[in-house]
């Protein structure tokens, strides 16, 4: 049964919008705040209730993350594990068709045309209906055969409270300094945002939680609070980097996939950084640059894949600013035991 969408969507204050629009050329439509728990483009308002009410199936698995925390890596892992290690299909069919991004309609710029094959597929399934209104990306989720694996960056509270009675969630977290650096590069790359400033300017926005998808810590707090729930597996990007086979073993148990040791090795190999960077199915940088969704001349979507890259970007001044921001977000920022360096050589 439908429920009310429980939060107010409020445009960010005028002053913040002006600052954001000056540096993020993609935010021309403005951003809305969802009662301090998330920040989205204004057209999220058309879809918020549909996402909140979404009827998940009991064999759905959601990969839920704050952006740039290892989503794509985990999507590829989970799909491959849940599909009998079918690396042939995984190497041919784009990841976003196998593991669709449920809220992408609310991010996709209104001024950019939809990709022709996606729009055509929608029109075949829903003759006479408006793809922008109904949501072509949401429709990809609906059209996916079970068992479905679905990507989201929305936090738990933007889905119905019974989400975990319905399906499983793999929540992935990554230390905020590496996320900040990675998100900086991605926000320069994607036309949805088109950030035109430098890294210190980006940290300025970050530490004021003036960002698409902010605040980081409230998203993390929601995931962390549910980490012991039997239908949640809470993973750290840094643990995956340090010991991928160990984390694949945990996923194997959680997902009930029953894969043998040799198959887990195949999954690890198939989802290695170099493998995923080289395949167009997981790294759409070149294709999306051609399609006009990504800017040319920026670092790619799958960029460096390391822990500790933040040390190449943070000056002592930026570290101090970041530290103050961390203090503001206590106790969550203290409670979650992030690693900022890992032992394994890159």
What residue ranges bind ligand PPS (CB under 6 A)?
65, 67-73, 178, 182, 185-186, 271-273, 276, 302-305, 309
Residue with tokens 């992030």: 338
Work out the number of other CB atoms within 10 angstroms of the CB of residue 25. Answer: 13
- 139 vs 247, which CB is nearer to ligand PPS? 247
Burial class, 258, CB count within 10 angstroms (exposed 0-12 / middle 13-18 / buried 19+): exposed
Complex with ligand PPS: residue 269 or 315, whichever CB lies closer? 269
CB of 289 to ligand PPS, least distance (A): 15
Distance in angstroms (rounded) separating the CA atoms of residues 231 and 246: 19
Tokens of 83: 């599909």
Task: Render 198-245 in DSSP notation, one character per residue.
Answer: -HHHHHHHHHTT-STT--HHHHHHHHHHTTTSTTEEEEEHHHHHH-HH
Q: Do 121 and 131 contact (CB within 8 A), yes or no?
A: no
Q: Cβ 226 to ligand PPS, closest distance in Å?
A: 19
**Alpha carbons 177 and 308: distance in angstroms, whole number:** 8
Q: Which is nearer to ligand PPS, 73 or 254 (CB)?
A: 73
How far apart, in whole angstroms, are the C-alpha atoms of residue 9 and residue 37? 11
Q: How far is the CB of 216 from ligand PPS (least distance, A)?
A: 12
Query: 311 or 330, CB closer to ligand PPS?
Result: 311
Residue 310 in contact with residue 177, Cβ under 8 Å?
Answer: yes
CB 145 within 8 A of CB 36: no
| Known active-site residue 153 | yes
Give the three-state DSSP class for 180: helix
Of 160 and 178, which CB lies nearer to ligand PPS in the complex structure? 178
CB of 30 to ligand PPS, least distance (A): 22
Least distance CB 73 / ligand PPS (angstroms): 4
Among the listed residues 38, 153, 219, 270, the single catalytic one is 153
Enumerate the active-site residues.
153
């Amino acid at each position: 049964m439908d429920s009310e969408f429980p939060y107010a969507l409020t445009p960010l204050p005028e002053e913040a919008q002006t600052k954001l629009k000056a540096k993020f050329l993609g935010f021309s439509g403005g951003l809305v705040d969802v009662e301090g728990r998330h920040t989205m483009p204004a057209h999220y308002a058309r879809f918020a209730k549909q996402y909140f009410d979404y009827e998940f199936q009991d064999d759905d698995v959601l990969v839920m993350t704050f952006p740039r925390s290892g989503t794509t890596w985990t999507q590829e892992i989970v799909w491959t594990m849940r599909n009998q290690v079918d690396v042939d299909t995984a190497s041919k069919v784009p990841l976003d068709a196998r593991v669709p991004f449920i809220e992408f309609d609310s991010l996709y710029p209104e001024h950019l045309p939809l990709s022709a094959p996606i729009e055509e597929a929608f029109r075949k399934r829903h003759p006479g209906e408006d793809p922008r209104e109904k949501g072509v990306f949401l429709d990809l989720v609906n059209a996916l055969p079970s068992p479905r694996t679905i990507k989201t960056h929305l936090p738990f509270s933007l889905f119905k409270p019974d989400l975990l009675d319905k399906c499983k969630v793999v929540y992935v977290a990554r230390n905020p300094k590496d996320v900040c650096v990675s998100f900086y590069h991605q926000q320069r790359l994607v036309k949805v945002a088109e950030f035109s400033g430098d890294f210190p300017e980006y940290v300025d926005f970050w530490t004021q939680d003036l960002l698409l998808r902010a605040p980081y810590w409230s998203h993390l707090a929601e995931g962390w609070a549910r980490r012991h729930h039997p239908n949640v597996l809470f993973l750290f990007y840094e643990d995956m980097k340090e010991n991928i086979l160990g984390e694949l073993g945990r996923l194997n148990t959680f997902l009930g996939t029953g894969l043998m040791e040799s198959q887990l090795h195949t999954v690890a190999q198939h989802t290695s950084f170099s493998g995923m960077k080289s395949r167009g199915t997981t790294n759409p940088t070149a294709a999306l640059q051609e399609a006009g969704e990504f800017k040319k001349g920026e670092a790619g979507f799958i960029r460096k894949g390391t822990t500790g890259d933040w040390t190449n970007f943070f000056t002592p001044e930026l570290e101090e600013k970041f530290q103050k921001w961390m203090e503001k977000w206590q106790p969550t920022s203290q409670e979650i035991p992030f690693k900022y360096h890992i032992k394994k050589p890159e």
